[in-house]
A and B are shown apart, each in its own frame.
Chain A
Amino acid sequence: MTVTELPSVYGGEILHVHLEAGTIERESVEPEYARKFLGGNGFAAAQVHEHVPPEASAFDPENVVVFAVGPMNATAFQSTSRGVVGFISPMTDGFFDSTFGGTFPRAQKTTGFEAIVLHGTAAKPSYVHVTENGATVVPAPDLEGKGTYETCEAIREREEGDDVHVIATGPAGENLVRYACLLHKGRDREGVAGRGGSGAVLGSKNVKAVAVSEGSFEPEVADEAELRQLAVGRMKPLLEETEMLQEYGTSGLVNPVNRMGKLGQRNNQSEQADPEAAERISGETLKTEYVTEDTTCANCAVRCGKHVTVESEGITEAKIPEFESLFGTATMQEVYDIKRVMKANDLCDRLGMDTISWGVTVAFARECYDQGLIEADASPHLEFGDADGLVELARQSAHREGVGDLLAEGSFEIARQLGDGAHRYLHGVKGLEFAAHSPRGLKGMSIGYATSTRGGSHHDTRPTPQYDGNHAETTDGTAVFAARSQNFTTLGDSLTQCRFVSEGGWGKEINDRYRAAIAAATGWDLTVADVEAIGERIYTLERQINVERGVADRESDTLPHRVMNEPIPDGPAEGMYCPPEELDAMLETYYEYRGWDETGRPTPTALDRLGLREFVS
């Protein structure tokens, strides 16, 4: 289908900011480009593919940082309030998109810029201020060394407006900690682009933050009444299915997932904590003893965000640790002192570090220390169970002090430096540490992680259907499930709809409801197959970027030693793992379904089918 007009939900332009010269270019969004890549994740992948040469590394000036929003932001389609940051990752050396909530993405939408692309490197420490008229690179050496929250507040004060929305790096980003993240302090709640090292890439560009002033663009929906009716019809299931998130946030998963015996402990040596230990770090305990208020992103009824206060730790109205963070900073460390865990999480947020990659990296280092691969005098903080040490390691990692300089490189680089079998203790793939969802206990995660374009991401193939018994303990149909789930998440990240709202309200796979909503918003004539093809096209482009960069092939579509060789030792999931021959069989089916060759490269036929031939070399 060829489209000739850009739907009025699009602001219509992409803003390019050249950091050295402080100049801008405005690029029109072509109708066919929008139809192919939709927005958000799709625009980010297309921009990265267009502008970053395959030989450029993450910290080279040729890398770009793309901030993209979705076509249905600020419409009745619920919770399309997320933003996407796209870049080449210093963790994976491949394409990465990291999403975040809050109010920044809504503000960006009102500028009319569907994507903001930062090129090159600023001559001096700066921030970028975007308005609907363009962008200014503002020198700001005084912000060096400041924390994320502090930076957001300082820029809002300097720009003198409640309509200014900021996303910032912390000291970790400035110090090129590879898993440095970006944090946005919204009006009500925080948004964190946590994974993949977006903060480090921004730091490498000498950019401390991006600020957006609200503009005047308002999206016009092709069939407003139809979209509103569709959205109203999904409110009941949405609110019913997300009740735990409303009450407990994601921390509510700790107790039930631990009870399943699928929650990594002690660098994933086992997968079940004593129930009383799990209780101490659970959502139930957090809600009862520490949560002070619910918080929310723009246009969201779920209100999954929470603030916590811990007076003895000097923590006031801090972001609650998410389930993933409790895995990385508590169970993987064998630390069940929730106050110290919250302190470590708050430090990670303030200093600007991904709690998953940082936590799993520390757990990996602790096992290497335990095994004698890291010298005994390297640090006094590397014993499993050391809660105070955990807090100190967060500070040291962000500032690259002492052993923190090693931890700042991430577990894969540490394993490379240590050699001597250290790789046996890795918990991740393709350079990115796994999230909390077990690659041994959930078969869909085994193949999903192995083929993920982002590495150990739980937002490629989703665990949610697996926790309901689908593709958790069987390989039957699981490779196809993983691929279709990746299409689903890629579509969702291109619509920039919150995953919890998609899964709870609209469905856990691409279906006619999504088709109807996109059609109502854009006026496009679409089939469900067309919509699935959008997700597949973007995911395939991500894969193609990684193939061209030499970081995606059959050899890299793998799982770490423990997952393929050491069954879960005890608990309800005892005996589960993914031996190499099981992964091989699923990979064969996965490649065949995708139309990739036996080496894992998208074939010319597959690229033609998806309309990608002109986009690839």
Chain B
Amino acid sequence: MDIAIRLFAMFRDRVGRRSLSVAFEPGVQPTAIDVLTRLERDYPRLDGLTTGDGEITATVTVLYNGRLVDRNAPADVVLEDGDELALSPPLTGG
């Protein structure tokens, strides 16, 4: 199964791409924390910027199909084939 990743601002700069896909073995149901951990492994410039102690760090806003992922409970978000995670820096409101 494939999870779509959309990257904004510095996350795009660090990865060097606007979007990418993360593949998991068939039958695996990854959580948001699994996907973020995989991203940090594959892209060292993201190391420590998205997760820590099972939570989402204060340096990133994570959207699951456009909906905000609770930074204290990313393991509660179980993704399916074709779902999307978007990563943005925290949003300061204009």
Binding site for B on A (CB under 8 A): 240-245, 247-248, 250, 252-253, 255-257, 259-261, 272, 275, 279, 283-284, 322-324, 435-437, 458, 462-464, 466-469, 472, 500, 503-504, 571-573
Contact = CB atoms under 8 A, between A and B. Distances in A.
Nearest to B72: A469
B9 A247 contact: yes
Interface in B1-59: 6, 8-10, 12-13, 18, 58-59
A553 B90 CA distance: 36
A322 B94 contact: yes
B68 A469 contact: yes
A467 B89 contact: no
Contacts of B93: 253, 437, 458, 462-464, 466-467
Contacts of B67: 260, 572
Contacts of B13: 247
Given A256-B86, A468-B61, A241 B71 contact: no
A272 B67 CA distance: 13
Given A259-B6, A259-B63, A572-B65, A469 B92 contact: no
B10 A245 contact: no
A464 B8 CA distance: 18
Contact of B94 (A248, A284, A435): A435
A284 B12 contact: yes
| Secondary structure dominating the interface of A | helix
A301 to B, nearest CB: 15
Interface residues of B, number: 25
Contacts of A323: 94
A252 B61 contact: no
| Secondary structure dominating the interface of B | loop
Contact of A436 (B66, B70, B94): B94
A252 B8 contact: yes
Contacts of B91: 244, 253, 256-257, 464, 467-468
Contact of A242 (B18, B58, B92): B92
Interface string B63-94: 10111101100000000000000101111111
A463 B63 CA distance: 17
Contacts of B88: 244, 252, 255-256, 259
B92 A504 contact: yes
Nearest to A467: B91
A261 B66 contact: yes
Contacts of B66: 259-261, 272, 571-573
A203 to B, nearest CB: 27
A471 to B, nearest CB: 12
A244 B94 contact: no
B89 A252 contact: yes
Nearest to A250: B94
Contacts of B68: 260, 467-469, 472
A571 B63 CA distance: 13
Nearest to A500: B92
B94 A463 contact: yes
Contact of B70 (A257, A458, A469): A469
Contact of A240 (B8, B9, B59): B59
Contacts of B65: 572
Given A250-B92, A252-B9, A324-B94, 17 more contacts: A240-B59, A244-B9, A244-B88, A244-B89, A247-B9, A253-B92, A256-B8, A256-B91, A259-B63, A462-B93, A464-B93, A467-B61, A467-B68, A468-B61, A571-B66, A572-B63, A572-B66
B56 to A, nearest CB: 10
Contacts of A275: 6
Contacts of A255: 8-9, 88
A572 to B, nearest CB: 3
A173 B54 CA distance: 55
Tell me which of B8, B59, B61 has the highest count of chain A C-beta atoms within 10 A of its own C-beta: B8
Given A323-B94, A435-B94, A256 B61 contact: yes
B10 A244 contact: yes
A257 B61 CA distance: 11
Contacts of A464: 91-93
Q: 7 nearest interchain CB pairs?
A: A572-B66, A463-B93, A244-B89, A256-B88, A467-B91, A464-B93, A323-B94
Nearest to A304: B92
A248 B13 CA distance: 11
A170 B87 CA distance: 41
A252 B10 CA distance: 10
B57 to A, nearest CB: 10
A241 B92 contact: yes
Contacts of B12: 284
28 contacts: A241-B58, A241-B90, A243-B89, A244-B89, A247-B13, A250-B94, A253-B91, A253-B92, A253-B94, A255-B88, A256-B61, A256-B63, A259-B86, A260-B63, A260-B66, A260-B67, A260-B68, A261-B66, A437-B93, A458-B93, A462-B93, A464-B93, A467-B90, A467-B91, A467-B93, A468-B91, A469-B71, A503-B92
A436 B10 CA distance: 22
B18 to A, nearest CB: 8
Contacts of B10: 243-244, 247
A532 to B, nearest CB: 21
Contacts of A469: 68, 70-71
A343 B46 CA distance: 36
